[in-house]
Structure 1
Amino acid sequence: MKKCKLKTMIKIDLKLFVTLSKYQPQGSKCLEIPEGTTVEKLIVDLGIPRDIVKLIFINGKSKPIHTILKNKDRLGLFPPVGGG
């Protein structure tokens, strides 16, 4: 008989900037997610179109979309930035 393994949950600090803010989960910027979740998986789970996320910062450093999130990470997602 196989044992059912429960997923360990971790907490991250999520901040969605500018036009992405409408995808911020209600309540708090503290989000509980399964351990092993990548930034890309979180973007999909939040319903954010992948092509509108241009900058990813974890703990203040630019990171790729396939980065696995860790407990107490601070994740910031930014849309394309325009300027004049």
Structure 2
Amino acid sequence: MRLKVKLFASLTRFAPGGQSAGIAFEMDVPEGASLADVAELLRLPAEEIKIAYVNARAQQLDWQLQDDDEIGYFPPVGGG
């Protein structure tokens, strides 16, 4: 199945092709994949994922994805 994926802030370093933060790229994943499976395929460190969303709604990493979902991952954010 095909997904639209967005990575934000420090997670953009894992985007294929050097995409900028918040710019979607498409990705093919096996049927029945979860948010955790996609994170693993992208080699996102689990400790660097604070929030994941599917179609603009925050979801747990075990959420099962559907074809054409738009997903995104945010790291913990710090500030000064």
Q: CA RMSD in A?
A: 1.5
Task: After TM superposition, list the pairs within 5 Å mapping 1:67-82 onto structure 2.
Answer: 67-82=63-78
Q: Following TM superposition, where does structure 1 have runs of at least 4 consecutive aligned residues deviating by more than 3 angstroms? A: none
* Stretches of structure 2 lacking an aligned partner (at least 5 in a row): none
Return the TM-score normalized by structure 1: 0.82
The alignment of Structure 1 onto Structure 2 pairs a total of residues equal to: 75
- How much identity, in percent, do the aligned residues show? 29
Task: Give, in whole Å, the separation in 2 of the partners of 1:25 and 1:18.
Answer: 15
Task: Give, in whole Å, the separation in 2 of the partners of 1:82 and 1:75.
Answer: 22
Offset at residue 83 of structure 1 (A): 3.3
Return the TM-score normalized by structure 2: 0.85
Residue aligned with 1:14, SS: strand
Structure with higher Rg: it is 1
Residue of 55, 60, 63 corresponding to 1:59 = 55
